[in-house]
Amino acid sequence: MNLRSLPILAVLACSPIALSAQAPAVSSQTPASAPALYAENAAPTSFSSSIATDDLAATANSAQSASGSQSAAGSQSAAAPSKGSSLPFSSVGVGVKVGLGGIGFDVATPLVPGRLNLRGGAGFFSYTYNGTVDNEPISATLNLNNAEAMVDLYPFKGSFRLSAGTTVYNQTSLNGTVTVAPGTTLTIGNNSYLSAPAPNQLTGTLSAGFGGKAVPRFTLGWGNMVAKKGHIKFETEFGVEIIGTPTVAWNYGGQACQANSAGTACATGSSYVAINSVPGATANIATQVASLQSDVNSVKVFPIFSLGLSFKIP
């Protein structure tokens, strides 16, 4: 064996030892590789936890969405009454009108929305007449100032209504004055009286009342001032106001005398005195008042007719 073969033999002799020495190294590396295996095994666990987290987040989002929907629904249901058309007194309608009672206004609010309203209003009107009544010169003013409270029923939930109520401030009246120029005659009943010279000439006052301070009224019409839909409405109303029996009063003042047949001077034996002191004058005045009272006794009702425009708030 030469010396050159010694290294080879030494390598061959040591190779089992090297192999056996490497084996523990492999086994010693096994624990080092375990974390890798553990990491690989843990990776699905990490992946599933991510999925669970996403599921939890989705569930939370769904819960929040549901809660938001419930909150929105709750807020919507809570806001529903604020529409002003589902509760009594939830809205107000105001309007203006013109008709036989003059110019006026109305205010309404629902008691049962769409079915029943409470309405109040007032009208103002006056008309002056200058002419003759029973051949006597007269200047008279007719006043139709009043206020009313009404309940409006809508039987078909539309615009047609039936209404009943009371005129609570009835100021319907007629007031006039009679002025007879000096030296002219005035016929009262069947006699003629000559007006005295100024400042004692004949004068008179006329008054008529139509019903008490509160009288019933019944109407029908179209238009709902507080309808559920729309804000601007046209109103029409007509009916009657039951005033009962009117009362008439006619009084005279000043001086006069029994006129002659020509009506130009006092009759023989007559002179200027207070009209109520002229023989027969008081009875003739009473007859004239009774005649007027008979004429107005048939006036039991006053007509109602108006057109209007209203606006609902809100």
Instruction: State how many domains the chain has.
Output: 2
Please check whether residue 9 lies inside any domain of the structure.
no
Residues 46 and 116 in one domain: no
Q: Over 60: is that where the pLDDT of 65 sits?
A: no
pLDDT of residue 33: 40
Last residue of a domain, one of 80, 113, 135: 80
Going by C-beta distance under 8 Å and a sequence separation of 6 or more, which residues neighbour residue 196?
Answer: 182, 202, 254, 255, 256, 257, 272
* Range of lowest pLDDT (32-41, 118-127, 153-162): 32-41
* pLDDT higher than 70, residue 58: no
Amino acid 131: pLDDT = 86
For residues 114 and 45, membership in a common domain is answered with no
The answer to whether position 158 is within a domain reads yes
Tens of pLDDT, residues 265-284: 999 989 999 999 999 899 99
Q: Which residues are paired to 103 by β-bridges?
A: 98, 124
The Cα–Cα gap between 196 and 257 comes to 7
Q: What is the pLDDT of residue 219?
A: 97
Inside any domain, residue 85: no
Structure tokens, 61 = 């989002």
* pLDDT one-digit tens code per residue, 166-186: 999 888 899 999 888 899 998
* pLDDT above 80 (res 51): no
Average pLDDT over residues 200-204: 93
Asked if residue 145 lies in contact with residue 138, where contact means CB atoms within 8 angstroms, the answer is no
The winner for highest mean pLDDT among 150-154, 184-188, 229-233 is 150-154
Domain boundary among 51, 80, 109: 80
Q: What phi, psi does 156 have (nearest 5°)?
A: -115, 15
Residue 204's domain comprises 92-313
More confident: 250 or 58: 250
Q: Are 141 and 229 within one domain?
A: yes
Same domain for 173 and 292? yes
Domain end call among 56, 80, 104: 80
pTM of the entire predicted model? 0.64
Q: Is 253 helix (H, G, I), strand (E, B) or coil?
A: strand
- Asked if residue 169 and residue 76 are part of one domain, the reply reads no
**107 and 247 belong to one structural domain:** yes
Q: Which helix (H) or strand (E) holds 45?
A: helix 6-79
Residues 187 and 264 placed together within one structural domain of the fold: yes
Question: Could you tell me if residue 287 is inside a domain?
Answer: yes
We report the CATH number of the domain holding residue 253 as 2.40.160.170
Q: How confident is the model at residue 213 (pLDDT cuts 50, 70, 90)?
A: confident
Predicted confidence (pLDDT) at residue 195 exceeds the cutoff of 80: yes
Q: Are residues 129 and 252 in the same domain?
A: yes
Q: Is residue 8 part of a domain?
A: no
